[in-house]
């Protein structure tokens, strides 16, 4: 079976990219089709034979792909997959809109329906003037996005949260296959019990709501370390007190050490799934998460973590105070993470491919 992978763009590193590498482990010979590829920022992508769209040659497209949002549909429609038996699109945007012939099975592994068009529209377009001038483009992209979502032969959702969005915005049914835990580490409880800091591992963008955590930790004067970079970094640094440290981008080895040394992972956003939750638990650490989204499917309340609600610094502050008087067994956290193993992912994904191939 000849297989191709399709992904929206290769210019960053995060949870979605770990999922992409898991698909590469399943299909190591599959080339990767994408809109743009920034080799300098994505050393992890060297394992792929990357095939880019015409946007690769456009000015600033590698780093400022948002400038060309209106051209993304055409970029993916321009690819030909006639020589492939199976195409898997991993997407939170336009990659699902590829066009395949009847003989080619197209499975979309959906990270979420396009966030800035649907579930995150109000957050992305808070500015009324920006919303007004963007209206024609958004109308066109919404129209195309709904059409594109009908093209895959099957859609697989990464969580119940995403499954519900797929039904709501695309009116399509989907199967759930959870992404695998892929952070390579010795699965053992931390020996750094004397460490007193909490940890956030996230891209620093607005919908992750890192600001909620910063305000809570400013109030309590507890130590917080933040791993990650993003457009909100300058703003978040200006909010943070001296008890909060920004660590930037870390290697996996460095990240593992910070996981092992923390008291708990703080997860303040509403996420589609949240691989960092599994990473922390795999190293024996509990999670304090906002009670919405994919966290509800990965945190066992009372045994591997706690939830706060509503999404405010006051609510998080209250739960943090409660957390300080509780103990969590690292073995429970590790057992929870093991449910999301690569072996389970491989078994479920290959089983679904075989089922769909017979239809």
Q: What is the pLDDT of residues 1-60, one digit of tens each?
A: 999 999 999 999 888 999 999 999 999 999 999 999 999 999 999 999 999 999 999 999
H helices within the chain, ranges in order? 15-26, 72-77, 121-124, 128-148, 160-165, 210-220, 233-239, 252-261, 275-282, 295-298, 313-323, 330-338, 342-358
Report the distance separating Cα 284 and Cα 188, nearest Å: 7
Which pLDDT score, from 0 to 100, does residue 81 have?
Answer: 98
**Domain at 198-338: CATH code:** 3.40.50.2000
pLDDT reading at 190 higher than 70: no
Report the distance separating Cα 13 and Cα 115, nearest Å: 18
Domain residues of the chain, as ranges? 3-180+341-358, 198-338
Average pLDDT over residues 278-305: 96
- Which pTM value belongs to this model? 0.88
Residue 128 binned pLDDT confidence (cut-offs 50, 70, 90): confident
Report the distance separating Cα 359 and Cα 347, nearest Å: 19
- pLDDT (tens digit, 9 = 90+) per residue, 143-184? 999 999 999 999 999 999 999 999 999 999 999 999 999 886
Check if 3-180+341-358 and 198-338 are the same fold: yes
Residue 123 binned pLDDT confidence (cut-offs 50, 70, 90): confident
Which pLDDT score, from 0 to 100, does residue 144 have?
Answer: 98
Average pLDDT over residues 60-86: 95
CATH class of domain segment(s) 3-180+341-358: alpha beta
With a pLDDT cut of 90, the percent of the chain lying above it is 89
């Amino acid at each position: 079976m000849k297989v191709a992978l399709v992904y929206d763009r290769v210019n960053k590193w995060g949870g979605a990219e770990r999922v992409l590498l898991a698909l590469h482990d399943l299909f190591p010979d599959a080339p990767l089709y994408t809109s743009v590829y920034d080799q300098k920022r994505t050393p992890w992508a060297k394992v792929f034979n990357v095939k880019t769209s015409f946007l690769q040659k456009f000015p600033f497209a590698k780093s400022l792909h948002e400038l060309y949002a209106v051209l993304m549909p055409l970029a993916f429609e321009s690819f030909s997959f006639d020589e492939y038996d199976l195409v898997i699109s991993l997407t939170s945007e336009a990659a699902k809109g590829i066009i395949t012939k009847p003989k080619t099975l197209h499975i979309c592994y959906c990270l979420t329906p396009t966030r800035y068009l649907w579930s995150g529209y109000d957050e992305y377009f808070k500015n009324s003037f920006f919303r007004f001038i963007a209206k024609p483009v958004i109308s066109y992209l919404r129209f195309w996005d709904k059409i594109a979502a009908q093209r895959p032969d099957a859609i697989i959702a990464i969580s119940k949260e995403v499954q519900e969005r797929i039904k709501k915005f695309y009116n399509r049914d989907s199967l759930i296959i959870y992404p695998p835990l892929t952070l390579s580490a010795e699965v053992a409880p931390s020996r750094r019990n004397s460490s007193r800091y909490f940890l956030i591992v996230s891209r620093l963008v607005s919908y992750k709501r890192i600001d909620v955590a910063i305000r809570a930790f400013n109030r309590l004067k507890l130590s917080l370390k933040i791993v990650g970079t993003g457009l909100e970094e300058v703003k978040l640094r200006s909010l943070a007190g001296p008890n909060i440290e920004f660590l930037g981008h870390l290697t996996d080895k460095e990240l593992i050490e910070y996981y092992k040394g923390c008291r708990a992972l703080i997860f303040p956003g509403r996420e589609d799934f949240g691989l960092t939750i599994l990473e922390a638990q795999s190293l024996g650490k509990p999670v304090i998460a906002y009670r919405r989204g994919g966290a509800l499917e990965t945190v066992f309340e009372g045994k591997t973590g706690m939830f706060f609600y509503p999404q405010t610094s006051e609510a998080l502050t209250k739960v943090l105070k409660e957390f300080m008087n509780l103990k969590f067994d690292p073995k429970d956290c590790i057992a929870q993470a093991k449910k999301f193993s690569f072996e389970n992912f491989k078994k479920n994904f290959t089983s679904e491919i075989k089922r769909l191939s017979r239809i």
